[in-house]
Homo-oligomer: A and B are copies of this chain.
Amino acid sequence: MPQEIDILVSEVGPRDGLQSIKRIMDTQDKLNWIKALAASGIQEIEVGSFVSPRLLPQMADCAKLVSETNKIDNLMVLALVPNLKGAELAVAAGARKLTIPPSASHAHSIKNIGKTPAEAIEEVHRICKFRDNLPVKQRPDIEVGISTAFGCTLEGTVSEDWVIEMAGLLARAGADSIGLSDTTGYANPAQIKRMFRRLRSEIGDEKMGGAHLHNTRGQGLANVVAAIEVDVSTFDSSLGGLGGCPYAPGATGNIVTEDLVFMLEAMGLNTGIDLDALIASREVLLRGLPDEVLYGNVPEVGLPKGFTYAAKRNS
């Protein structure tokens, strides 16, 4: 049974991280890495993406990863699906939770998935209908993260009203949860607070998703603090800050899981994650991707003297 936690840290390195890297990591190396992450206490991992292997050959082993990682205790395995075909493949592989990334920006949506935002919402609707027709035990949880929700490198400002309207449409299309993604590293803390407040009032507590943040302009953890102020409780991040969006020029790495977990625990928010084990899992990642550059301050500097985990402090 999963440990009682305050904040869910959802690791996206094996998907968002690897997606931005040209090299292909061996399936066994990925499995070792995912196991190390889970062993450190991470309770949700996005293991890959059901996209065409022609587009992203790094993700070609996603079905195998889903079926293997489903065996890991206390781990929710997440798979990205861009469309109905991906969802079908994911379910066939045994995926219990899917994440879909429709984009609020028209230009980004066309470039990323070849569909307008309206068509992407319709595709989410199709995926939800497909789910509804499955036997109950096979029905996956469907999470949607609205990409470019805070701005777009192609279009600039993205209408906040439209993002919230889109969240409402996605909720009515049948998504179980809707979160907001700062795909491009454009978000600022004031905007984060405003948008997640509006999101909650649009779709309600039950469908509230998390924040997917990038650290492009150094604002990643600042945005987390802002999101916590308005009770967001799920954050995506990647070990070593690996990753980015290949279709958003200049958009570098996700927020760093190690620094995020340190911050949350230091704030007294239990993540269920052991920082030493988490930091040690960098070595497992590097065994599969030798010489890859990893980011993160806490792994460099270490924990403060006298550091106490939230669970210990609160008990």
Task: Please give the residue numbers on chain A whose beta carbons come within 8 Å of chain B beta carbons, in ascending order.
Answer: 151-157, 184-186, 188-191, 215-219, 221-222, 224-226, 228-229, 250, 252, 256, 259, 262-263, 266-268, 296-298, 301-302, 304-306
Q: A301: which of B152, B156, B185, B222 is its contact (CB, 8 Å)?
A: B185
Question: Does B304 contact A222, Cβ atoms closer than 8 Å?
Answer: no
What's the Cα separation between A221 and B185 when bound, in Å?
15
Considering residues A155, A156, A222, A306, which has the most beta carbons from chain B within 10 angstroms of its beta carbon?
A: A222
Question: Does B186 contact A304, Cβ atoms closer than 8 Å?
Answer: yes
Given A189-B263, A304-B184, residue A218 in contact with residue B155 (CB < 8 A):
no
Question: Does A156 contact B305, Cβ atoms closer than 8 Å?
Answer: yes
What's the Cα separation between A36 and B208 when bound, in Å?
46
Question: Does B188 contact A267, Cβ atoms closer than 8 Å?
Answer: yes
Question: Does B298 contact A266, Cβ atoms closer than 8 Å?
Answer: no
Considering residues A224, A225, A302, which has the most beta carbons from chain B within 10 angstroms of its beta carbon?
A: A225
User: Contacts of A250 on B, CB cut-off 8 Å?
Assistant: 301-302
A/B interface sample: 15 pairs, CB < 8 A: A151-B305, A153-B304, A185-B304, A189-B228, A189-B263, A189-B267, A191-B267, A215-B297, A217-B259, A217-B263, A217-B297, A217-B298, A219-B262, A219-B297, A229-B229
Chain B residue with Cβ nearest A297: B218
Question: Does A224 contact B222, Cβ atoms closer than 8 Å?
Answer: yes
Chain B residue with Cβ nearest A264: B188
How close is A153's CB to chain B, nearest CB, in angstroms? 6
Q: A222: which of B151, B188, B225 is its contact (CB, 8 Å)?
A: B225
Chain B residue with Cβ nearest A229: B229
User: Contacts of A224 on B, CB cut-off 8 Å?
Assistant: 222
Q: A188-B266, A189-B228, A222-B225 are in contact. List 17 more A-B contacts (CB 8 A).
A: A151-B304, A153-B305, A156-B306, A188-B267, A190-B267, A191-B267, A215-B297, A217-B263, A218-B221, A218-B256, A218-B263, A218-B298, A219-B266, A219-B297, A222-B222, A222-B263, A250-B302
Q: A221: which of B155, B222, B305 is its contact (CB, 8 Å)?
A: B222
User: Contacts of A216 on B, CB cut-off 8 Å?
Assistant: 297, 301
User: Contacts of A298 on B, CB cut-off 8 Å?
Assistant: 217-218
What's the Cα separation between A252 and B226 when bound, in Å?
25
User: Contacts of A217 on B, CB cut-off 8 Å?
Assistant: 259, 262-263, 297-298, 301, 304
What's the Cα separation between A252 and B301 when bound, in Å?
9
How close is A80's CB to chain B, nearest CB, in angstroms? 25
User: Contacts of A188 on B, CB cut-off 8 Å?
Assistant: 263, 266-267
User: Contacts of A191 on B, CB cut-off 8 Å?
Assistant: 266-267
What's the Cα separation between A155 and B155 when bound, in Å?
51
What's the Cα separation between A215 and B154 when bound, in Å?
31
